[in-house]
Amino acid sequence: MDGLLAQAFVYLTAAVIAVPIAKRLGLGSVLGYLIAGMIIGPDVLGFVGSEGQDVLHFAEFGVVLMLFVIGLELEPALLWRLRGPILGMGGLQVTISTALITGGAIAFGLPWNEALAVGMILALSSTAIVLQTLGEKGQLETSGGRSAFSVLLFQDIAVIPMLALLPLLGSGVHTVDAADAGHAESASLLAGLPGWVQTLAVLGAVAVIVVGGRYALRPVLRAIARTRSREVFTAMALALVIGIALLMQLVGLSPALGTFLAGVVLATSEYRHELETNIDPFKGLLLGLFFLAVGASIDFELIADQAGVIFGIAGGVMLLKFLVLLALARGFRLAGDPALLFAFALPQMGEFAFVLFSFATQEGVLGAAIVDPLVAAAAISMAVTPLLLLVNDRLIRPRFGTKERGQRPMDSMTGHAPVLIAGFGVFGATIGRLLRAKNVDTTVLDYDSDRVDLLRELGLEVYYGDATRHDLLDVAGARDATLLVVAMPDPDSTLKVVRTARKHFPDLRIFARAFDWSDAHVLRDEGVEAVYRQSLDTALRAGRDALRILGFRAYQAQRATRTFLRHEEESLDAIAGMEGKDRSAFVSTARARIADLERILRLELEDSGVDRDRGWDPESLRDEFGSDESTAGREAADEGEATGAGGTTGGGEADHIR
């Protein structure tokens, strides 16, 4: 197959076919991608040839994006709380697994330096497969999932010293063919410089990310947000991540680690949700591509030739790592479900194996005869991981696991306020302030970056973002909220938010501000629970005060206003009911608006019963009892006087009776 488009078509089609099937079968998307990759790979259909390796390298960027998104969801405080598991469990996992695998390799006759290289590389697990699979199952937030995450994070850090150590293990036995070795991390410009310069550069790069992320980035994001151009913001988000990845490569750090750090720094910023929403689709696509490429890279011919060796390595290494993980789980007081999840999640070899093996080959540490079966074993182990987790879920855990008590999800990342307010102009802000006064938490989404800044300075939970996008609503917690208040600045965006919310979150109750009568209809038809017409209440208040100035008693004017308001709403309902579905076709036309207005006026004339409080009206009592002196009459007259208080104490008739 030739050409970028043709390739893209093959990959996308494979994903579109395989992933839904895999998900339907309960296998999860990762397995779907892997199987699709194998099928389009060179050994089955042959749609993808040797360029699969290049695609793999390109798609590794998906891992970088994933760690950025994970960083965005991890507030620094939470990361600090995880420092124990990261250093303790992560450190021990890498050291012990390395030692054991090295020992095994020596036992099989490898020289110690080659054995150590193999041990280090195989000790690492696959961040991409594990996090994607656990995330899909919602297991990342359990204690087992979080421990797995901690270990993976440590492994990302551990790659740095490994890259430094591997060249030192070179014995010069293996011939070096740099061109063949691909583009590994060795691109570092600093490779030739003395150690202290390299160290300084690394520290400098980290400082750039932390300080820049905290102080320089926000004004830049704000300036871009102010352009209100969504694709520029997306471009900025991507440029940011790619820039950091490049910087990291320059100083020889793992790009994933750098973007993770940047994510954490930005986790407390108002642009968190928006960045996440923008990066997410790219992350998903690239990760999918990565899994496809892993599947396609599995060399069935090689496996068939050396089946015993390769499956032996894969099985042996996984068993070894599995046992180490179980022991660690016990050591760190994980038991039952979390321990099983932790141990089943991490025994595979990871994508770092591909990178590091090619690097080691390039440095002359390992020869192709050793590396090829190892790479095949790594790919197999990755492919097997989702299956292992499935087996754990379906077969092992139900029998041997214990339920985890008091699961503490990472909920600090998305505060689940009961009320979402979309649009924080005067209307939305007034609602927000009222709710706040009664200690009701709200999450606010607004698309005006200046306002977002101001409100955040006042200490409000406001996020910059486009509420018409369902993914942003999701990130903001629409799934768990009770109520969405739509207070967008114009009818179009209001309708968009309402439709999006109705479609993706059918349980969410919706209040919406409408701009005119016709608009209110449409919103009602869309299933909005309560529609608030812009300026209806203020107009009525002004009307009420006008009545007062003209001599009406304040309470009468007030009651007339209330009655009028109720009448308005009833007519709205009545018309909405009458029209049914016909009206939606021409609802936004001028004709419909005029017809509606006409209808309101007519209803108004037909029933102008604004003053219906007959209980306070002594007229009928005077008619009945005014001249009669019977007993019943007297009692009732008393009653009449009591109820018709205005008649005796309210002053002249003219100023209150109509």
Partner 1 sequence: MARVLIVFAHPALEKSRVHRRLVAATPRDERVTFHDLYQEYPAFDILVEREQELLLEHDVIVLQHPLYWYSGPPLLKEWFDLVLEHGWAYGSEGDALEGKVMLQAISAGGQASAYCEEGYNRYTIRQYLRPFEGTARLCGMRYLPPWVVFGTHRLDGPDIDAWADAWARTVTWLADEGWGDIEPDPDSLLVEGAGECAPWPIAGIDERLEPNAVPTESGSGDGGGG
Whether residue 257 contacts residue 245, with contact meaning beta carbons closer than 8 Å, is answered with no
- CA separation for the pair 278, 402 (Å, rounded): 39
321 Cβ contact partners less than 8 Å away, ≥ 6 residues apart: 97, 123, 125, 346, 347, 348
* Sheet with 442-446, side-by-side order of all strands: 462-464, 442-446, 419-422, 483-486, 509-514, 530-533
CB of 606 vs partner 1, minimal distance in Å:
17
Bridge partners of 510? 484
Q: Which is nearer to partner 1, 480 or 617 (CB)?
A: 617
- Alpha-carbon distance 69 to 375, whole Å? 28
Residue 441 or 638: the one with the smaller Cβ distance to partner 1 is 638
Least distance from C-beta 645 to partner 1, angstroms?
9
Handedness of CA 445, 450, 454, 456 (dihedral sign): positive
Tokens found for residue 649:
């104490």
Distances (CA, A) of 178 to 99, 359, 364: 29, 9, 9
What's the CA gap between 36 and 19, in Å, rounded? 8
Phi, psi of 539 (to 5 degrees): -60, -40
* Cα dist from 154 to 111, 149, 300, 350, whole Å: 28, 9, 32, 14
Please state the closest distance from residue 609 (CB atom) to partner 1, in A. Answer: 11
Q: Which residue has the tokens 């938010």?
A: 497
Of 443, 437, 398, the residue nearest 420 (C-alpha)? 443
Amino acid at 284: G
Report which of 568, 613, 144, 126 is spatially closest to residue 392, judged by C-alpha positions. 144
Q: Min. distance of Cβ 549 from partner 1 in angstroms?
A: 22
Considering the complex, state which of residue 537 and residue 598 has its C-beta at the smaller distance from partner 1. 537
Distances from the Cα of 344 to the Cαs of 93, 200, 381, 400, in angstroms?
14, 39, 12, 14
User: Which residue, 177 or 639, is less far from partner 1 as judged by CB?
Assistant: 639
Q: What is the DSSP string of 547-581?
A: HHHTT--HHHHHHHHHHHHHHHHHHHHHHHHHHTT
Q: What's the min distance (Å) between Cβ of 620 and partner 1?
A: 5
3 state DSSP class of 441: coil
Smallest distance, partner 1 to C-beta of residue 578, A: 22
Residues that bind partner 1 (CB under 8 A): 559, 562-563, 566, 612-616, 620-621, 624, 635-636, 639-640, 643
Q: Which is nearer to partner 1, 137 or 622 (CB)?
A: 622
Is 175 or 439 the residue whose CB approaches partner 1 more closely? Answer: 439
**Integer Cα distance of 146 and 329 in angstroms:** 12
Nearer to partner 1, 141 or 641 (CB): 641
Cβ proximity to partner 1, 330 vs 612, nearer residue: 612
Type and span of the H or E element at 143: helix 143-165
Rounded CA-CA distance 204/448 in Å is 34
Least CB distance to partner 1 at residue 136 (A): 43
Which C-beta is closer to partner 1: that of 634 or that of 658?
634
Q: Parallel, antiparallel, or unpaired for β 419-422 and 442-446?
A: parallel
Q: Which is nearer to partner 1, 404 or 569 (CB)?
A: 569
Minimum CB–partner distance for residue 614 and partner 1 (Å): 5
Instruction: Compute the least distance from the CB of residue 612 to partner 1, in Å.
Output: 7
Question: Which CB sits closer to partner 1, 87 or 636?
Answer: 636
Least separation in angstroms between CB 539 and partner 1: 17
Closest CB 656 distance from partner 1, rounded Å = 16
Q: Which is nearer to partner 1, 425 or 633 (CB)?
A: 633
End-to-end alpha carbon distance in the chain: 87
- Residue 294 CB, shortest distance to partner 1, in Å, is 59
DSSP β-bridge partners for residue 420: 443, 484
Least distance CB 318 / partner 1 (angstroms): 59
Minimum distance from residue 540 beta carbon to partner 1 (Å): 12
Cβ closer to partner 1: 220 or 565?
565
Rounded to whole angstroms, the Cα distance separating 97 from 119 reads 7
d(CA 22, CA 17): 9
Q: Which is nearer to partner 1, 115 or 621 (CB)?
A: 621
Tokens at 360, concatenated:
């080691």
Residues in the chain: 658
Give phi and psi for 545, each to the nearest 5: -65, -35
Rounded Cα distance between 466 and 274, Å, is 8
* Angle CA 617–621–623, to nearest 5: 115
User: Which is nearer to partner 1, 408 or 562 (by Cβ)?
Assistant: 562
Q: What is the DSSP letter of 653?
A: G
Shortest approach of partner 1 to residue 623 CB, angstroms? 9
